[in-house]
Structure formats: structure tokens, C-alpha cells
Structure 1
């Protein structure tokens, strides 16, 4: 993906760019915060646990997962990531995933970057459906998805292991042309 092909954030605090290996330290710093991971499926024991993700995100394969850095416009500090996983070109679907540092919580950043990536996925990638799975306890993310016109479609019992325990998730989806 060229920089011109990236989604643009309309939020005045942040912009989006390619996620780079040099971002690992800042990414791990906020993902190591128990408040951040409490309502996610991240299970990192060290910064090394992030490294394999960079190989996946750097792949040139058309349906490989993509992850973007959410950075402050002023200074370029990494304050989050957002991307698309489980991309199916055949079915024109993908799953959105994101995480943010608490320094930008409550400022509308999540809503802005989710809307940006969803719009870009529909317009530039030709996707028809973008879904999200969210841990049932993650009320902040549920509110973001609902503000971004995602509809709750189902309840996924024991969907993923969350640090050694079964976690229940809500399934949300946004359909092109329906928001």
C-alpha cells in the first residue's frame, strides 16, 4: 500500500500511517498496561510477542492482514493501531481490530479511525461487509462500534481464550451502503 492509498483520519489529534517495526516499543508500552488489555484478547509476555505480527502486516499478498499506526499529528507518537484481519477477497469481507493508548481515550479518536478504515475498506478495497468481534465486557469498544453504524448480530460463547479462560464475544457487522 502506498501512502496515498491509506485511509485518512479526519480527527484533528491523529493521523494514520503504515505500522513499522520501530513502533514495537511504543505499541508494547501501552499494550502492557492492564487497563488496556483487560477487555481484549491480547496476551503479551514481552515485546518479542509482537514481532510475528509485523511479518504478517508487511506481506504483499492481496488478502494478508493489514495494520496501521495511529499517531499524534503533533510529534508523531504512536497512540494506537487499527487494521483489517481475515480479509476475503472472494467474499469481499474483513474483520476490523483496533487498540488505543489511554492518552487518547474519550477524545473521539477510536470512532474517527474506525469510520476512516471502514469507509476506506468499502470504497478502496470494494468490501461489502466489515465485522468486529468484541469481548462482552468491552463496553467502550461496543459504544464505538455502535456509533460507527455496526449492528450487533450475535453472541459468540467461548469464542476465544483470554489469558487462559474462555471469553464470550459479541459479533458486530457493518454492511456497505447501510450506514
Structure 2
């Protein structure tokens, strides 16, 4: 894994990449508010990360204790404070409860690229919510952060995630054999990429 570059100055620009204060991010879609993770999200985050269906293809086991969710949030808040990565809570307009997360990490300002990740509670699958959130997040990454490239890594067996990424314009770029071992199970990783030029955005 490559070292994550610290984005310490919200006014910094590198090769036309606009580095903004990640603490202030707030996105709205037709059905969702997408905002930074907060301490009050702990119980809801635990529900999502202890959801065996949602965690089936994850790179670690489902959470077993609320303490794991608390530590997760502390780590996220520290990284947001330091502008090293970003994790947002997906919240429905009709409720203030977190139902999933979407994040940006492995940020490389000079190359204007970063990696994305996402998870949605299985109780909300089949409604197009993840597609709605990811589309808005991609626009934010390209239009506001001025990234040139986004990457995603998934388990090749995760067909739903593959369909989602392809729907959003990502293309399969490679396969990393036996990349993860989770609970003794060895799995491959499929690498996806999306360029701003692929969707007609000039950065």
C-alpha cells in the first residue's frame, strides 16, 4: 500500500488540484444527505459494520463490539482533521440515522488521484441509494477536488459492486491475485479506474 499524502492546508493546490477543508464537505441528493461521520453515528455505524451481508466481501471481519465502531469513528475524525482522508455518512432525508458510508483515501495530490470505498446496510439494498450517493461523490471528487483519477478495489465475486462501478463509468483495469486473507479465506482483488475525461469533466 502506498503512503497517504497529508493534505494539511485547505488552500493548497497541486497541479490544479483544489485541496479543500474536508471537514466542511456536505452533499445532498434527491433522497440523501452525505456528510462527515460524527460521534453520534456510533450505534448506526456498528449496525452497518456488523451486518454480515454488507460485510461479506469486506477486507476484515464484521464488527462484534460497539467499541470497534467507536475506535473507527475516532480514527476517521483524526484523519479528517488532518485532511488525510475522508469518510462520509449516508443519511436519508427522512431520518438522521446513518445507513452507509462512502470514503476517499490513498489521496495523491501530485498525481491528482485517490481511491474510493463504500458500504450500505443490506436493509437498504435494491433502492438505488448507493448509485445515487456514489454519483454525487464522483462529481464532488472531479469538480470540486479537481481529481483526475479515481480508483476502486473490490472482490471479483462481488457482482453488485461491479455493476455499480460500471454504471458510474469505471472500467476494470486488472486483477491482483490472492491479495486478501480474511478469516482464513484467500481472495483476489479486482481493480477499477475512472478518469475525469471519461465522463467529460475537464480538470
Q: After TM superposition, is the score higher than 0.5? A: yes
Q: How many residues align?
A: 175
Q: Secondary structure at the match of 1:85?
A: strand
Aligned pair in 2 of structure 1 residues 14, 42: CA closer, same or farther (>3 Å)? farther
Task: Give ranges in structure 2 of 5+ residues lacking alignment.
Answer: 1-21
**RMSD between aligned residues:** 1.6
Which residue is 1:107 aligned to?
127
* In structure 2, distance between residues paired with 1:163 and 1:65: 27
Aligned pair in 2 of structure 1 residues 93, 159: CA closer, same or farther (>3 Å)? same
* In structure 1, distance between residues paired with 2:37 and 2:28: 15
**Residues 16 and 69, structure 1, Cα contact 8 Å, conserved in 2:** yes
* In structure 2, distance between residues paired with 1:88 and 1:49: 28
Deviation at 1:177, TM superposition (A): 1.8
**Residues 41 and 163, structure 1, Cα contact 8 Å, conserved in 2:** no
* In structure 1, distance between residues paired with 2:72 and 2:114: 17
* In structure 1, distance between residues paired with 2:51 and 2:82: 33
Q: Which deviates more, 158-167 or 46-55?
A: 46-55
**Residues 9 and 112, structure 1, Cα contact 8 Å, conserved in 2:** no
Q: Does 1:142 align with 2:162?
A: yes
Which residue is 2:69 aligned to?
50
Q: Deviations over 1:64-123 (max 9, x none)?
A: 111000001002121100010111112111110000012221111111111111111111
TM-score (norm 2): 0.80
**Residues 133 and 171, structure 1, Cα contact 8 Å, conserved in 2:** yes
Task: Give ranges in structure 1 of 5+ residues lacking alignment.
Answer: none
